[in-house]
Chain A
Amino acid sequence: MPEYTFRVNGEQVTVDVPGDVRLLWVLRDILGITGPKYGCGINVCKACTSHVNGRAVNPCAVPVADLRPTDEVTTIEGLAATVGEDLHPMQRAWIDHDVAQCGYCQPGQIMAAVALVRRVAAEGREITDADLDGLRNICRCGTYFRIREAIRAGAKDM
């Protein structure tokens, strides 16, 4: 079987799996990294949101063969390490605002929020209501309002 090499949460990994298997299953079923959640498998619910080279990506829609050895995949488990702390400021904001209910969507929500704040910062502006309206992650527990508050707070510390 073919082998694919890339980086996950700061470490290089090599997996032995057909190239069309989507990254979500490589992470969860082969590498045992279960932070990214399955909610649809067709890139619409965003529960699996993770980062590839710092940008938000949905691994349920990425064949593992698309990754290069230098590509850095960050899942929720590796987010804090990207800032060299126990918790990323966005995770801290999430705790302060007591956002999570069942928690199933939250890894994806946080990863999407961090990417949004970076994007908006790169454009040299503040987060707007329209930016928040544009987040597509579903939360079936309906935590949306606290998510909005947490993102605004977390952005200040990023």
Chain B
Amino acid sequence: MTGSNDGMPPDEAVGRRRFLGYVLAAPTLVAAAELGVTASPDIRPPSPDIRLPSPEITEILDLNDMMTLAALPTSGLVTVEVHPDGTVSFALPRAEVGQGITTSTAMLIAEEMSVPLDRVRVTLADARPELVFNQLTGGSNTTIATYTPIRVAAAVARLRLLAAAAVELGSAVTDLALKDGVVTARSGASVGIGALAGTAASTRTRQVPVTLTPREDFTVIGRPQNRIDALDAVTGRKKFTMDLDVPGAKPTMICRPPTINGRVGPVANLAEVRAMPGVTDVVTVSTGVAVRAETFGQCIDAVRALKVSWKPGTAEGKSDETVLRELEAAELPIGLRPPTPVVEERFTFHFRSNSALEPNCAIADVRADRAEIWSSLKSPIVAQQAIAATLRLPVGRVTVHVTEGGGSFGRKLFSDAALEAAEVSQKLGKPVKLMWHRADDSRQGRTHPMATSRVRVSYLGDTVLSYKQRHTSVSTDLGHGLGEIITATAAKLPVGDIGFSETFFQLSQTMSYDFGSSSRLLSETDKGFNTGSMRNVYSPDVTCARELIVDRLAARMGRDPYRFRRDFLRNDRSRAVLEKAAEAGGWGRPMPAGTAQGIAFHAEYKSVSAALVEIDCRPETVGRPIRDGVAGPRVTKAVFVVDVGLVVNPRGLEAQMMGGIMDGIALALTSSLHLRDGYFLEASWDNYFYTRQWNTPPELQIIIMPSGSEKPGGAGELGVAASMAAVACAYGRATGTMPTGFPINHGTLSFTPKPTVPPVPPSPTDGLDHAR
């Protein structure tokens, strides 16, 4: 997997960079490559004699390998197009939701074609059913899966441009240099790639062999690059779904039930609400009562005015306590207690909201014979199929445009709003711009499932004999997208028919320590909740539980937590990130009482990471006054070290780690949903305490390890697990009590719950009084 070309015979090094691409028949130069086929040539086929629970299945095949394997049989092409104005365009079959993949994609093209970055335009492709599994943004897989195909297409374009320039300039190709989008001959004559776009085009589709730029010649890949959409983002020009101007698509909101998935009954005052100012339509749909109006403000008023009889939902009467009992009942046996000393604990992780700042939203224009949808979707093909089925239209009559997303965190793998918008538009026969109110997004939107994790470690003297973990979770809905991939490939994996949640769990979790025989099993229960995999799915909880146990084990053995980890980690690459974190963070420095350091390790997505944090749990800090928010312990310093293999954009990678740290802090200390009487109490950001400025570490350092690897690893979610675990460990060391329930403040309700009927709060009217 790793290792540069150094020491390799030159032919072999070139061979590993040689691929087949295409030039397509088109009036302008269109170069293409097959997505999937070119990726990961060194995936080893799973050997048949491996069975669960075997040690470290992830060493044979991990989630990303599976996603790449799943893509192999497809024939969809990705295309790089050169335009007469000298720009290069590429429609990325993925969703940009903030993770910076449009920028890293533009960098790959700029590198291989020697064009300036600002001349590469990356857009998001509409749903393309022929891509099958290849249009799914998840599992931090984008760069891993697209790194080679995009460069192959760009290399084909480069080759064609040079050939066309040779004719144009009357010069041999070997005497030409392509730089900054201009081809220059030895004679000094030059021509821009825009002028070559037509002559470099092909009248028929042909295969073209190319050799990719060797790593040592990179001038773009691996250099810090600001985001290509930064200017649009800071000027307000960046367009999200609700900013699009689709003719006739008026604001639409849904009046939703007071309990999770409650069903809609009769409406007492339909006529009255239809007559309210600005309201154009009111209609009952499967999830509630839809209101369409001239402004969202008038939608909110109408939703508040509706008098609806609601029927029970899918979590009626349930609370945190009842779900905890369900989890206890569903936990898989951990076996008899061995005669050796053990360290054992059960941890609880409460429901957490995976709301992005942009709420669920979509635009739909459904006509009798066709439909057009705009939404930020990480799984647009699945969305297209589901929408076509709902509307009873052929898939080919449903166009799904993938828009820029305002964050995802797991939400955008699903198409809840797009399905709803399609249904409402069809019912009304009018285009709609549908948005969930924040209260809906928080109370009815998808959540990261509540879970418990029981860990038992047995040891003797200086040796750890076994590690067992039983993770029990409310069912995670992996059914839109990732699920399809897993279902389709599960048969090829050495895991038998254990179902896709367990498959996913086994593939995404890894045991990084030499802890003897190890087993991790997942059990899921209760499908009554709207769940989704939040950033990093199972890993933050599983890793947090493990790392806390590692701390306790180290203490039991009289060892320093850092040195203990270092000695038990299984390889040098893992040790290197841990050592770097300890060194850069000043591990072991004297700290005042009530404050402490914590350190943790996590490996996933072919990457390794370590976090060191310092936390202040002194009463004056915990109790510092914060209006409409929670203060709590303050993480005063965070050092995060990561090795993801080859890095395309270090600046973007740092940003992803920074976001992951903020998530980890929230998960450990402040963010959770409280379930009571079948609904979540949290209805907005003044109830749900995601990390805020007052929780942000004033000192933050992210270190990217140099790597000789030729391959990128995944990074979009990688930062969360080690961060959460390090904060939890630091809290345990500062207070002298290992936390076992997360977030640590879940037991205290820090707000007055908003009513559930009407389902959304009124907007305040005193805004000008707070001008500051």
Write the residues of chain A forming the contact surface with B, with a CB cutoff of 8 angstroms.
17-18, 20-26, 28-30, 32, 34-45, 47, 52-53, 55-63, 66, 75-77, 80, 87, 91, 94-96, 98-107, 110, 115, 119, 129, 132-148
Contact = CB atoms under 8 A, between A and B. Distances in A.
Interface stretch (B97-105, B332-340, B594-602): B97-105
Interface string B639-682: 00000000000010001001111110000000000000000000
Contacts of B226: 95-96, 98
Contacts of B693: 132-137, 144, 147-148
A94 B771 contact: no
Nearest to B698: A129
A106 B300 contact: no
Given A41-B438, A135-B693, A62 B235 contact: no
25 contacts: A28-B243, A38-B435, A39-B357, A41-B761, A41-B763, A42-B761, A43-B764, A44-B686, A45-B357, A61-B765, A62-B765, A66-B765, A95-B226, A100-B234, A101-B407, A101-B655, A102-B97, A103-B233, A103-B406, A138-B685, A140-B407, A142-B661, A145-B658, A145-B696, A148-B693
B97 to A, nearest CB: 6
A60 B767 contact: yes
B231 interface: yes
Given A91-B235, A140-B407, A133 B295 contact: no
A135 B357 CA distance: 16
A119 B772 CA distance: 8
Interface hub of B278, B651, B763 (most chain A Cβ within 10 A)? B763
A17 B230 contact: no
A38 B406 CA distance: 11
B684 A146 contact: no
Nearest to A54: B771
Interface of B: 97-100, 226-227, 229-240, 242-243, 245, 251, 277-278, 294-298, 300, 355-359, 404-407, 409, 435, 437-438, 628-629, 651, 655, 658-663, 684-686, 690-694, 696-698, 700, 760-768, 770-772
Contacts of A44: 628, 684-686
Interface hub of B245, B251, B691, B764 (most chain A Cβ within 10 A)? B764
B771 A142 contact: no
Contacts of B98: 101-104, 141
A142 B660 CA distance: 7
A17 to B, nearest CB: 7
B662 A77 contact: no
A17 B435 CA distance: 21
Contacts of B296: 25, 28-29, 38, 41
A25 B504 CA distance: 43
Contacts of B227: 98, 100
Contacts of A55: 771-772
B488 to A, nearest CB: 30
Q: Which 10 A-B pairs have the closest CB atoms?
A: A35-B236, A102-B98, A142-B662, A104-B406, A61-B767, A103-B233, A62-B767, A142-B659, A76-B236, A100-B233
Given A103-B98, A140-B409, A52 B768 contact: yes
Given A42-B764, A57-B771, A25 B662 contact: no
Contact of A104 (B232, B356, B765): B356
A21 B298 contact: yes
A38 B236 contact: no
Given A104-B357, A132-B693, A143 B659 contact: yes
Contact of B232 (A22, A103, A143): A103
Contact of A41 (B355, B437, B662, B697): B437
Contact of A80 (B97, B232, B235, B767): B235
Contacts of A77: 235-237
How would you classify the secondary structure of chain B's contact residues: helix, strand, loop or mixed?
loop
A146 B227 CA distance: 14
A98 B628 CA distance: 30
Contacts of A63: 765
Contacts of B300: 41
Contact of A61 (B355, B662, B691, B764): B764
Given A21-B298, A32-B245, A102 B405 contact: yes
A107 B692 CA distance: 17
Given A106-B233, A138-B690, A38 B772 contact: no
B759 to A, nearest CB: 13
Contacts of A132: 693
Nearest to A24: B297
Contacts of A34: 236, 239, 242-243
A100 B278 CA distance: 35
A25 B242 CA distance: 12
A60 B763 contact: yes
B684 A42 contact: yes
Contacts of A80: 235
A61 B763 contact: yes
Nearest to A111: B236
Interface hub of A22, A30, A75 (most chain B Cβ within 10 A)? A22
Interface hub of A61, A137, A141 (most chain B Cβ within 10 A)? A141
Contacts of A22: 297, 763, 767
Interface hub of A34, A66, A91 (most chain B Cβ within 10 A)? A34
Interface hub of B277, B359, B767 (most chain A Cβ within 10 A)? B767
A19 to B, nearest CB: 10
Nearest to A46: B685
Nearest to A47: B357
A98 B651 contact: yes
Contacts of A134: 693-694
B143 to A, nearest CB: 16
Contacts of B406: 37, 102-104
A91 B234 contact: yes
A38 B685 contact: no
Nearest to A132: B693
A75 to B, nearest CB: 7
Given A41-B437, A47-B357, A56-B771, A104 B407 contact: yes
A115 to B, nearest CB: 7
Interface hub of A21, A23, A28, A77 (most chain B Cβ within 10 A)? A21
Contacts of B685: 39-40, 44-45, 138
A138 B357 contact: yes
Contacts of A104: 98, 240, 356-358, 406-407
